[in-house]
Chains A and B, each alone.
Chain A
Amino acid sequence: MKRKLVSVIMSMAMVACVSLPVFADDAAATTELAPNDKGAEELTLWHYFDASADAQAIIDFCNEYNALQDAVYINPTYVSRQELMNQYTIGAVSGELPDIGMVDSPDMASYISLGVFEDVTDQLGDWDEIKNFYPGPLSSCKDADGKIYGLPQNSNCLCLAVNMDALKEAGIDEIPASLDAFKEAVEKTTDADQSRYGFAMSAISTEEGTFQLLPWIVATHNGTKTSLSDLTAADAATGLDVLGGFVANGQMSPECVNWTQADDYNQFCAGKAALAEIGTWHLASIKDDVNGAFEYQVALLPTGDEGTSSSTIGGENFGICTGCKNTEEAVKFLQWFMSAEEEAKWATQAGKLPIRSDAEPVYDYEEDGFKMFQEEMNYALARGPHAEWPTISEQIYTAAQKVFLNGESAADALAEANAVIAPILEANPLPEQ
Chain B
Amino acid sequence: MKNDPKKNYRFHSKEGRRNLTLSVIAVVLGLVFLFPIYWMLQISFKSDMETFGKVLTFFPHQFTIDPWIANLGDKNFLESLRNSFINGFLTMVLTMAFGIPAAYGMGRYKLKGYQAFLLIFLVAQMLPASLMLTPMYLTFSKMHLLGTFFAPPIAIAAGSVPFAVVTLRPYFKSVPVALDEAARIDGCTTLKSFFLVMIPAVKTGIITIVTISFLNGWNDLMYTMTFNVKPEMRPLTANIHKFQSKYGTKWNCIMAYGAILVLPVIIMFIFLQKYIVGGMTAGAVKE
Contacts and interface: CB of A to CB of B under 8 A. Distances in A.
A263 B73 CA distance: 23
Contacts of B250: 266
Size bracket, chain A contacts: 35 or more
B74 interface: yes
A96 to B, nearest CB: 5
B42 to A, nearest CB: 19
Contact of A79 (B89, B146, B229): B229
Contact of A24 (B54, B78, B231, B272): B78
Interface residues of B, number: 48
B6 interface: no
A83 interface: yes
Nearest to A264: B248
A270 interface: yes
Interface string A1-20: 11011001100110011011
Interface in A219-264: 259-263
Contact of A260 (B141, B248, B264): B248
A427 interface: no
A27 B74 contact: yes
Interface stretch (B99-107, B116-124, B178-186, B238-246): B238-246
Interface stretch (B20-28, B60-68, B169-177, B202-210): B202-210
A260 B133 CA distance: 26
A22 B272 CA distance: 31
Contacts of B268: 8-9
A374 interface: no
Contact of A94 (B141, B244, B247, B248): B141
A257 B137 CA distance: 33
A161 to B, nearest CB: 15
A261 B249 CA distance: 10
Nearest to A87: B229
Given A27-B74, A265-B248, A13 B82 contact: yes
B141 A82 contact: no
| Residue among B52, B230, B241, B249 with max Cβ neighbours from chain A (10 Å) | B249
Contacts, number: 117
B45 interface: no
A9 B231 contact: no
Contacts of B88: 9
A50 B239 CA distance: 12
Interface string B198-224: 000001001100110010000000000
Nearest to B139: A94
Interface in B48-98: 52, 54, 72-75, 77-79, 81-82, 85-86, 88-89
A195 interface: yes
Contacts of A50: 242, 245-246
B230 to A, nearest CB: 7
Nearest to A96: B141
Interface string B250-269: 10000000000000100110
Interface of B: 52, 54, 72-75, 77-79, 81-82, 85-86, 88-89, 133-134, 137-138, 141, 146, 203, 206-207, 210-211, 214, 225-226, 229-231, 238, 241-242, 244-250, 264, 267-268, 271-272, 275
25 contacts: A2-B206, A5-B271, A8-B271, A12-B267, A13-B85, A16-B78, A16-B82, A16-B85, A24-B79, A27-B75, A81-B241, A82-B241, A83-B238, A86-B133, A86-B225, A86-B226, A90-B133, A90-B134, A94-B141, A96-B146, A195-B54, A260-B248, A261-B248, A262-B246, A262-B248
Q: Which 10 pairs of residues, A with B, have the shortest CB-CB distance?
A: A262-B248, A80-B241, A270-B52, A263-B248, A16-B82, A13-B85, A20-B78, A266-B248, A94-B141, A16-B81
